[in-house]
Amino acid sequence: MFKQVVAALIVTLIGVSLLPVRQADSPTLANPAFEEIWSARSASTSGFDLWGSEPLAWRIESYADAPGGRRIVQYFDRGRMELGLPDSGREEPQVYQGLLALELTTGRIHLGDSLTASRTPPSIPIDSGSPDDRVPTYAALSNVVQERAPSRLGRDLPVAWIDSTGQPAPGSPVVPLRGAEYIEQTGHNLPDVTVSFFARRPFGTMGWIEAMGLPISEPYWTIYRRDGTPLPSLIQVFERRILVYTPALPAEQRFTTANTGRHYYRWRYETDPPRRWPDPRPGRDAPDIRVPDGFAAGVYASDLGTPVGLALGPAGNIWAVTAEGRVLRIDSEREDGSADRVTVIAEDLPNPRGIAITGTTIYVPVDGGVVRIDDNDLNGVADRMSYVTRNLDPAPGSRGAPVIDGQGRVFVAGTLVPGGDQRVVARLNGDGEVLISGSGVSNPGPLITARQQLLVVDRPAEGEQGLYRMPTNGTRSASQDPLAAVLSRRVVKFPGDVTVHAVLRFDNVLWPQIDPDTLFAAISSGESGSVVRTIPGDVGAPPDLVEFATGLSQPVALAVGLDGSLFVADAGRGEIIKIVVPAPEE
C-alpha cells in the first residue's frame, strides 16, 4: 500500500466542523435543539398543529452566511427548522423557521442573507390535492404577494376570491370581515378572525410573528380541501406559512396551515422528502475503481466532455468545467445517483484550468488570464462574462486551478504578465489588480485553502515536493524566501515521482470513517492515478498518507457534496467519479 510520511501536524490548520449532526433515519430529528421545539409542540394544550404529524427529513443545505457556508435544516409537513448562528451573548445555536411561503410564492430561494436564486413558483395546489381550477397554487399566489394595500383598520375588508388563475375576483363573503390590525412593515391587513385567533396564543410560548412571519398578502376567499372535502375558506400568505380559516368547521378545527414544508421540499429538490437523508448513491457501476470497505464508487457523469475542474455551487449542486471550454451546472440526479439534467453556463473558454465559485460569481483561469462569469440571480444564464485580469498567466493544467478563501479572496498560481518568468501565487482584487501572496516558489500549484490558511503544492529548488503554507496578504513585491523558511511551512510531503493535481480538505462530518481533519489528494504517475488521504500516525508521530481510491487514470480535481459524496474529475477517463458511504439497509 502506498504510504508516505507527513512533514507537519495537520491538526494545527484544520479542525472539526461546527455542524452538530448525527446520522438519522426519519422520523427522528437531526439536532437536540430541533427536538426541544418538537417536544414543546407535543406538550402544547392549544390543539393547533404548527408542524404536522411527524418530521419528514433533515438535510445540510448551503447558506452563504452560516459557518462553512452550510447549515442543518429539518423539514416538516408545515414548515422547516433551521439551526443558525448564536446571537451575541448566547452560547447555544438558535433555531429559526424558514421563510418557505415567501420563497414558494416569489420564486426566490434564500441561499444567504442577501443571496437568492430564481426559480419559477410551483404549480402545486396549496391544499395538497390534485389540480383543481378552484384551488390556488403557489404560482397563482405569486400574483398577489408583496403588493402593499391601504389600511382598512376598523373597516369592512374588500371581498375578493382567488383561484388557480391567481386573479382576484369580487364575490360574496362567507362571513363578514373587518380589518383589526394593519402591519405597516409589509402593508397588509389582518382580519378580525385572525387577530382573535392570535390573541388566544395558539402557538404556545411562540408569538405569531415567530410562527407565521409577517403577512405578505391580503386575505382572500377560495376553495380549500380539508380532508378531501372542498370548503369555502379564507387564506392569507405569511412569510413562513399560509394560514387557512374554514368557518364551516367546528371552532377548534377552523384554523390550519398549508403543507408548505412538504411542498417546498418537492419544489426545491424535485422529489418528495425521502425516508432518510443522507442516502447517497454512487451512480453507474465502476468495478475497476477500488475503494476501502464501507465505501462505494461509481460513474457520476461520462458524457460532459473532459472534466478538468469541479466546484460546489451556492445551491449545493456540483459545477464542472471541461477541457472543451464549457462551464456546466448539474441540476439533478437520477435514481442511481448519477448526473441527470445539466445546464450549460458558458462555452468556448480557452483551455480552462479549473473553477471556483463564490456567491453569484464564477472564476475560471484560462489561457492569458482569469475569466469572471456573473449569474446574478443564479438562474443558469450568464449575465456578464469578462476577464477579471490579463496580468497573470495561470499555471498550466490543474496547477492553475483557482481557490477562494473564507473572505472571498481569489488565489491563482501562475506567472506575471508582462515578464512571464516570475512564478507566483497571486491574489486577485475585485478590480483585477494582481497582488503577490507568495514568491520564492519554484513550480506552484495546485492550491488549497483550509481555515484561514492558504497552502500550495510546490517543489522548491533542491527541496522536496510538498504542501506548504503561504502568506495571504498581497504585496507589490516579495523577496525570495530562503529554502529553509519555505520548508518550515511544509504541511505534507509528497513523493517526488508523482504529479499532485488537486488537494482537498474533507470538511464534511457525515462520514464516520473519515475524520473531518482529513486531506485528500489526487495524484498520478504515468498513465495511472489514485486518490490518497491522510491518516493519524503513531503517538507522537506525524500522520501518514495512504491510498483511498485506485483504478483512476488522471484525477485532476476534487469536490465534496453536501451529503458527503466525494467527486473526482478524471480527465484521462473523461468521467466524474463519485465515492459515497451507502446508507445501511432498512
3-state secondary structure of 530: strand
Concatenate the DSSP letters of all residues of 157-187 into one string. Answer: PPP-B--TT---B----SS--BEEEEETTTT
262 part of a folded domain: yes
Q: What is the pLDDT of residue 36?
A: 85
Both 36 and 86 in one domain: the answer is: yes
Both 390 and 243 in one domain: the answer is: no
CB-based contacts of 39: which residues, under 8 Å, 6+ apart?
none
Domain end position, chosen among 224, 239, 269? 269
In 216-369, which ranges are continuous DSSP H helix? Answer: 260-269
2 part of a folded domain: no
Band of the pLDDT at 537, cuts 50, 70, 90? low
Band of the pLDDT at 201, cuts 50, 70, 90? very high
Q: Is the pLDDT of residue 23 over 50?
A: no
Q: Is the pLDDT of residue 534 over 60?
A: yes
Tell me: cis bond preceding 176? Omega within 30 of 0 counts. Answer: no
> What is the side-by-side strand order in the sheet with 255-257?
220-226, 229-237, 242-245, 255-257
Q: Is the pLDDT of residue 12 over 50?
A: no
20 part of a folded domain: no
Out of 80-89, 215-224, 469-478, which region has the weakest mean confidence (pLDDT)? 469-478
Residues 52-67, mean pLDDT to the nearest whole number:
88
Residue pair 469/455 in contact (Cβ under 8 Å)? The answer is: yes
The better pLDDT of the pair 529, 5 is held by 529
Length in residues, the chain: 586
Domain end position, chosen among 269, 301, 334? 269
pLDDT in tens, 81-102: 998 755 444 556 788 999 999 9
Q: Is the pLDDT of residue 441 over 70?
A: yes
Band of the pLDDT at 13, cuts 50, 70, 90? very low
Q: Which three cell numbers stand for residue 378?
A: 443564479
Both 294 and 217 in one domain: the answer is: no
Q: Which three cell numbers stand for residue 192?
A: 378580525
Both 406 and 458 in one domain: the answer is: yes
203: nearest Cα among 73, 80, 36, 45: 45
Q: Which three cell numbers stand for residue 455?
A: 497552502
Q: Angle at Cα 227 formed by Cα 254 and Cα 257, nearest 5°? A: 50
Both 265 and 299 in one domain: the answer is: no
Q: Is the pLDDT of residue 143 over 70?
A: yes
Q: Is the pLDDT of residue 524 over 80?
A: yes
Domain end position, chosen among 243, 269, 295? 269
Q: Is the pLDDT of residue 538 over 80?
A: no
Total number of domains in the chain: 2
CB-based contacts of 232: which residues, under 8 Å, 6+ apart?
174, 221, 222, 223, 224, 246, 247, 248
7 part of a folded domain: no
Per the prediction, the chain carries an average pLDDT of 86
Residues 184-207, mean pLDDT to the nearest whole number:
95
Concatenate the DSSP letters of all residues of 450-513 into one string. Answer: ETTEEEEEE--TTS--EEEEE--S-BS--PPPPHHHHHHTEEEE--TTSEEEEEEE---S--TT
521: nearest Cα among 507, 536, 543, 506: 506
pTM summary value: 0.87
**pLDDT above 70 as % of the chain:** 86
17 part of a folded domain: no
Both 245 and 312 in one domain: the answer is: no
Could you tell me the end-to-end alpha-carbon distance of the chain, in angstroms, rounded to an integer? Answer: 34
Q: What is the pLDDT of residue 86?
A: 52
Highest mean pLDDT among 21-30, 367-376, 411-420, 427-436: 367-376
Interior/surface letters 198-229, b for 16+ CB within 10 angstroms, e for the rest: beeebbbebebeebbbbbbbbbbbbbbbbeee
Both 403 and 497 in one domain: the answer is: yes
CB-based contacts of 15: which residues, under 8 Å, 6+ apart?
451, 516, 517
Both 221 and 304 in one domain: the answer is: no
The better pLDDT of the pair 30, 79 is held by 79
Both 319 and 294 in one domain: the answer is: yes
Q: What is the CATH number of the domain that holds 439?
A: 2.120.10.30
pLDDT in tens, 110-137: 999 999 999 999 999 999 999 999 999 9
- Structural domain boundaries, residue 444: 284-580
Both 517 and 428 in one domain: the answer is: yes
The 3-class secondary structure across 195-223, one letter per residue, is HHHHHCCCCCCCCHHHHHCCECCCCEEEE
Residues 496-509, mean pLDDT to the nearest whole number:
89
13 part of a folded domain: no
Q: What is the pLDDT of residue 480?
A: 42
Both 557 and 534 in one domain: the answer is: yes
Q: Angle at Cα 322 formed by Cα 319 and Cα 324, nearest 5°? A: 145
The better pLDDT of the pair 147, 29 is held by 147
489 part of a folded domain: yes
338 part of a folded domain: yes
Q: What is the pLDDT of residue 48?
A: 86
Q: Is the pLDDT of residue 184 over 80?
A: yes
CA distance 173 to 159: 6
Interior/surface letters 249-273, b for 16+ CB within 10 angstroms, e for the rest: beeeebbbbbbbbbbbbebbbeeeb
Quick one: how far is CA 69 from the chain centroid? 7
The better pLDDT of the pair 476, 511 is held by 511
Both 565 and 525 in one domain: the answer is: yes
Out of 259-263, 283-287, 450-454, 561-565, which region has the weakest mean confidence (pLDDT)? 450-454
Residues 247-267, mean pLDDT to the nearest whole number:
96
Band of the pLDDT at 476, cuts 50, 70, 90? very low
Residue pair 56/265 in contact (Cβ under 8 Å)? The answer is: yes
pLDDT in tens, 288-322: 999 999 999 999 999 999 999 999 999 999 999 99
Q: Is the pLDDT of residue 154 over 80?
A: yes
Q: Is the pLDDT of residue 540 over 70?
A: no
